[in-house]
Chain A
Amino acid sequence: MNTLKRYRFFFILIIALVILTFLNQRLGWKAFQLTGNSLINMLFLLPPVLVFVSLLDKWVEKETLIKYMGKQSGIYGTLFALVLGVIAAGPLYVAFPMAVLFLQKGASIRYIVFFLGVWTTAKIPTAIYEFTSFGIKFTLIHICFGLVFYYILGIIYEKFYEGRSLLKYDLKEERSM
């Protein structure tokens, strides 16, 4: 029953795909193929990233991470968030488990918000596409503005979540919802 509930949205989408195929066979088939493709891409990215996250969890001490990404980490926190976000590969759903782990290990929410923001604006692989398609001016405006925006947003979130925990559930626990 629980399993069924967790896959509810997935089934709704399957039904949507079936309806689409009925309305337009070519489009439905295309959607099916594209889904398959993105599944393969996901399998290239997500499992190794989850292995990194777990290894990091086992080997890196909380104190170490707090030193580099905690509240008092200063410039280190910003730099780490920036580097991690910039070298990122893949969609945002890969960043979420990483962000959860950093938070569990005592990273400040300020750097987590910045990290997610950098991930959505300034990933190097994506920036290369952006640069070749839209030129240097467009890319620089996008990245610089994005970085400033998310840096400020991080400060705002830190003020707002002062002393409150952000995490809703432990990624490592078996979920029963």
Chain B
Amino acid sequence: MINGIILYSIAIILVSISFIKDRNKTKDALKQSWKMFRNILPDILSIMLFVGLSLSILTPSFISSILGEKSGLMGIVYSTIIGSFALIPSFIVFPLGDTLVENGAGLPQVAALMSTMMAVGVITIPMEQKFFGRGFAYTRNAAGIVMSLLFAYIIWVVMG
């Protein structure tokens, strides 16, 4: 909310400055923003719906029942899968992880879950693919999974 107000204020100020300097350029820019918005809207709407579904189904008690302290390697596998599909806003990811640990989930498993939630988005691949092509979208997400697994491993060794 507060972020939004700041962003909108900056946007309005910048548009005003731009408008004073060059009317046509500014009009073009605004038209272009609107076109971009319309182009990505279908993907964004799907993403929003999926966020709603993820958040309602993946309750802390449900996840921590899968990722118990002794869930070991399989727990990491499950959390990687859940985290890759789920779309959870990043400001919710860490408080959620905290609740999971309190409910008895293991730290490395939660680390893998949180890291994949932020870095991997199977559901956003179609959108990413439209921008950067299939190869990039798939490999970037795969790299996100590798990164998350390594991170979980480091946490396991260092803090486990």
Contact = CB atoms under 8 A, between A and B. Distances in A.
Interface of A: 6-7, 9-10, 13-14, 16-17, 20, 27-28, 30-39, 41-55, 57-59, 89-93, 96-97, 99-100, 113, 116-117, 120-121, 123, 125-126, 129-130, 132-134, 137-138, 141-142, 145-146, 149-150, 153, 157, 166-169, 171-175
Contact of A129 (B32, B91, B131): B91
Contact of B128 (A37, A96, A141): A96
B33 to A, nearest CB: 4
Nearest to A13: B49
B29 A58 contact: yes
Contacts of A121: 115, 118-119, 147
Q: Which 9 A-B pairs have the closest CB atoms?
A: A44-B4, A35-B52, A31-B56, A48-B11, A133-B98, A54-B29, A34-B52, A129-B94, A48-B7
Which among A33, A117, A129 has the highest number of chain B CB atoms within 10 Å?
A129
Contacts of B119: 117, 120-121
A133 B95 contact: yes
Contacts of A10: 42, 45-46, 49
B45 A7 contact: yes
B124 A46 contact: no
Contacts of A133: 94-95, 97-98
Given A17-B52, A38-B52, A57-B32, 11 more contacts: A38-B48, A48-B7, A48-B10, A51-B15, A58-B25, A90-B3, A100-B131, A126-B118, A134-B94, A153-B143, A168-B133
Which of the four size classes fits the interface of chain B? 35 or more
A52 B11 contact: yes
Contact of B131 (A17, A28, A96, A157): A96
Contacts of B111: 138, 142
Contacts of B15: 51, 55
Contact of B49 (A35, A58, A96, A126): A35
Interface in B21-62: 25-26, 28-30, 32-33, 35-37, 39-40, 42-53, 55-57
Contacts of B1: 44
Given A54-B29, A54-B30, A168 B35 contact: no
Contacts of B87: 91
A91 B90 contact: yes
Contacts of B25: 58-59
A64 to B, nearest CB: 16
Contacts of A47: 8, 11, 33, 37
Nearest to A156: B143
Contact of B36 (A42, A97, A117, A150): A97
A141 B129 contact: no
B14 A51 contact: yes
Nearest to B96: A133
Contact of A27 (B18, B57, B126): B57
